[in-house]
Structure formats: structure tokens, C-alpha cells
Chain A
Amino acid sequence: MSSFIAYLVSGIAIGCTYALVASGFVMIHRVTRVVNFAQGTFAVVGGMATASLLRHGLPHGLAEVVALASAAALGLLIGVVAIGKPGTPPLSSVIITLGLAIGAYAGEVMIFGDQPLSFTMAHGSTSFLGAHVDRQLFVIMGVTVVSYALLQLFFGRTYVGKALTACSSNPYAARLSGINPSRMGLLAFAIGGALGGLAGVLITPIQPVSFDSDSLLAVNGFAAAIFGGLMHPSTALLGALVLGVSESMIGGYVGASYEIEVALVLMLAIMVWRAARTPVMAEEVA
């Protein structure tokens, strides 16, 4: 029983980091219709930058904030390259993000080295329903809940949030109202960068991150995002939790880590199911 609780809590926490990556995918896709393959890169930069800033003596808090700002800036930069030229077809932008994600490896190795980095955020473990649980897992869950709540407020209550939704719903009409959809797209890339970066900052203390850790997070985040048709952050959250918990249970009871495999199978199943149920995917690609 206690190991079940431990697997469950750890699965939910890992799922939360997938959810943050997924919400970045959704954020960028909603506004620009671009699937940003560099989404995992933000997490790597967030995690590695925090670790290396802490090593250089920056205090906690500042290190995390600077790392998040760097991830957001990188998001903006990738946005500029991918959608900055007006009239770039979304598919070309997707390919550009893929290229940048691979190109980023070189930069990451140069800046952070090729070894996995880690750091400690919340020390030790605590007893929870009879199981020993890392305190960091609760930090992950808490921060994810707060981030999702803030996102909800941002889209539901603020004028800029509404404008982002407007660009997603009808970019032509947005332009007529004087909103600049390209600029909104860049904003989405920056926010997506920060969300991905946050996932990296949170996960690095429990899973050391190296330059090529992006694919695991990106594949899982993408699978979760697909759950919500790449349009709905709340459904993506659900998908992310399902993924995190299933992977944790399989890892715990079967005794091997099949994270990528589980994610891929689930993603495939969702895609087949969605395609059979509605033509949504086809429309969104078109």
C-alpha cells in the first residue's frame, strides 16, 4: 500500500511537469497553429540554467527567476525565427522549431556542458499516508496548481489574455480590430517558453537534466497536449496526469522505465481515437 501511494504521488508530480510542458504546446499552438518542437528545449534550459546559476553562487529564488526569464527569452527568439516572417506557413514554422531544437543542443553543451545537472530545491522527504515522499514532489504539485490557476485568470480576466484567445479564434478579425496576431504569437512563444522552463526547473531536482533530456519531456508533454486536441490546457492537464501516473506505476511494479514507450503508445491511441471520432485533427492541420 505504501509503495502504491509513493508511486501515485510521484506519478502525479511527474504528470504535473508534463502538464506544464503541455500547456506550453497548447499556448503556442492555439495562437499560432504551430506545434513547437522546441518545447522540450525550454525545460532543459530552465533546469540547467538554474543548476548552473546556483553553482555560481546565485541564491535560490533569483536563480530560478533568471532561468525562467532565459527560457521565456529563448521562446521569444524561437518565435521570431519560426513565425517572424509574415506569411510563413505553419508547417514550415514547425520544421523550423524542430531544426532549432536540434541546433540548441550545441549551445546547451557549450554553455552548460554535456553532463547532467541537478540541484536541490526542497530538502528531504516526508511521510504521507504511510509512504516516504520527497518534499520536492509536493513543491511540483503546488507550483503547477498555482501556474494553472494563474493561466486561467490570465485568459479569463485580462484584456491581453482575451486578445490571445481572439487571435486563436479569428486572426483576420483580430487584425481588423487592430490586434497584431504576429505580435500575439510571439507573446505566446514567450509564455510557452516560461512554462516549459518552469517544468525543467521543477523536475531537475528529482531527475537530473542534460542537454538531450528534452525529448522525454517533449514527447510526454506533446502526448498530453494531444489529449486536448492541442487546444485545451485543462484536458492536457488530465492527459498529463494519466501519463505520469501510468508511467510511474509501470516503472514501479514492472520495474523498468518505459516512459517514452508509454507516452508514444498512449499518444497513438489518442490520435487514432480522435481521428475516428471527429475530423478535428484533420481540420487543424489544414
Chain B
Amino acid sequence: MLQVDDLVVRYGSAVALDGVGLHVGRGEMVALVGPNGAGKSTLVNALSGVVRPAGGTIRIDGRLAHVPEGRQLFADLSVEDNLRLGAWRSRNRDPRRIYEVMPVLGEMRRKAAGSLSGGQQQMVAVGRALMADPDVIAIDELSLGLAPIVVADLARHLAQLNSERGMAILLIEQNARLAFDLCQRAYVIESGRIVAEGDSGELSRSPEVARAYLGGITGSDTETLLERTAE
């Protein structure tokens, strides 16, 4: 579904991505975690063609949608117009399918997107990306600014689309615990290189990953959460 090999991206002389390889299969939900400045946003910007790679290959089967870092809505336009513009490349511009999964968006569909709270804007950003009926969706910071209950809600919808329609998901998260809970597999990126990858459960038990991303807590907490999501 999504296959990235040896991807190199430079900003001037600075190397932001240095031979990154990554794979997300059909119906898979994969996390990408890493510290600030590791190159996560650069990677998704390369996927959507906004930054041009200096080397490597990107293969996407089908349509990719990208929920950008920092929401990036069309502030002067209404929520509904934002959603409809998400479907620019697809034929179905009816936002009702999004209102079904995110009823709050339906309630505020006439409001200017710029007048919403940060969390509400994030929901619009996710909704707009889903309007493209993507085969792969890359979400740059899902939980940013959202109340935990909203994150859980969104995550449930995404998981549903993931299992029902086989939509592949690449989830970028600062909150590594959340990411490991939601995704079967994860990649850890540091300074433009993938430094660890594998089963989320195993990664969260690895001492280095736990120290860097889970506040030093390995094992049990996350495991119980993982079991819950697996059910």
C-alpha cells in the first residue's frame, strides 16, 4: 500500500531524512514516533509531494490523504466548504458521510473554520482528509490539542475505517503510548533515520524506547491498554 525505500530529503545542505525505509500494508495501522525535529513531518510532506526527495523511492497504491501538522484549515471558509474541498480529487463531494462518523462536524458545518477551537479544527482537518476517500492516510499529530475522549473517539473511527475499508494508516504521534496502543506496528525515527521498528508491544518493552518515549515505564500499563484495544 505504502512503500518507502532509502528516502533522502535535504533542506539546503541540512539532511532531514537520511535513507528512511518504511512500509504500511493494506489495512494496517502503523505508528511513527520520534523526538522533535526527527523528520516525521518531512517524511509525510515527501509522501504528499510537497517536498521533493533528493533520493529514494516512494510507492503509494491508490490515493494518499495527509492530515498536516498544525491543522492548516481554510480559515475563511465554512467547515462544510473545508470538507468539500478535501474531495477535490475524488468524485464524491457530499460531506454527509463524514457527518455520520463525526456528528459534531455536522452541527458546526456553517461556522467559519477559523473560528473553531483548536480541537474542533483538528477534527475538521481529519474529516477533510477522509473526504478524499483515501487508501492511505498519514496523520501528523492526531492527538495534538485534543481532549482524550475526542482522541479515543477519532481513533475508534479510524480503526473502523481501517478494518472495514482496509484504509492503511500512518500515525505520527508525540504521545508514543497512544501510538503504541493504537497501532500493531511502529517505527522510531531519530535524526532522520529509522532507529527501531517492529511490533508495538515489543517496542514498548524495549528499555531504550521506553526511556525515551514512555517516561521510563515499560510493560504492563501499555500491555493492558493494548489488550483492551485488541478486544
Contacts and interface: CB of A to CB of B under 8 A. Distances in A.
Contacts of B23: none
B191 interface: no
A179 interface: yes
Contact of B86 (A159, A168, A177): A177
B77 A176 contact: no
Interface string B52-91: 0000000000000110100011111100010011101100
A173 B68 contact: yes
A165 interface: yes
A255 B104 CA distance: 63
Given A163-B85, A166-B85, A173 B48 contact: no
A172 B72 contact: yes
Contacts of B10: none
A132 interface: no
B14 interface: no
B26 to A, nearest CB: 22
Given A170-B74, A173-B73, A162 B84 contact: yes
B93 A159 contact: yes
Contact of A170 (B48, B50, B73, B88): B73
A178 B49 CA distance: 10
Contact of B72 (A162, A170, A178, A179): A170
B81 A176 contact: no
Interface string A138-178: 00000000000000000000010011011011101111111
A159 B84 contact: yes
A178 B76 contact: no
A173 B50 contact: no
A176 B85 contact: no
B177 interface: no
B88 A178 contact: yes
Contacts of B72: 170, 172-173, 176
A170 B81 CA distance: 14
Interface in B103-147: 128-129, 132
Interface in A171-224: 172-179
A170 B68 CA distance: 12
Given A176-B66, A177-B132, A169 B74 contact: yes
A173 B75 CA distance: 11
B132 A169 contact: no
A178 B88 CA distance: 6
B206 to A, nearest CB: 34
26 contacts: A159-B84, A163-B88, A165-B74, A165-B76, A166-B74, A166-B81, A166-B85, A169-B74, A170-B73, A170-B74, A170-B75, A172-B50, A172-B68, A173-B74, A174-B74, A174-B85, A175-B49, A175-B50, A176-B48, A176-B66, A176-B129, A177-B85, A177-B86, A177-B89, A178-B88, A179-B85
The 5 A-B pairs at the shortest CB distance, nearest first, are namely: A178-B89, A173-B72, A178-B88, A169-B74, A166-B74
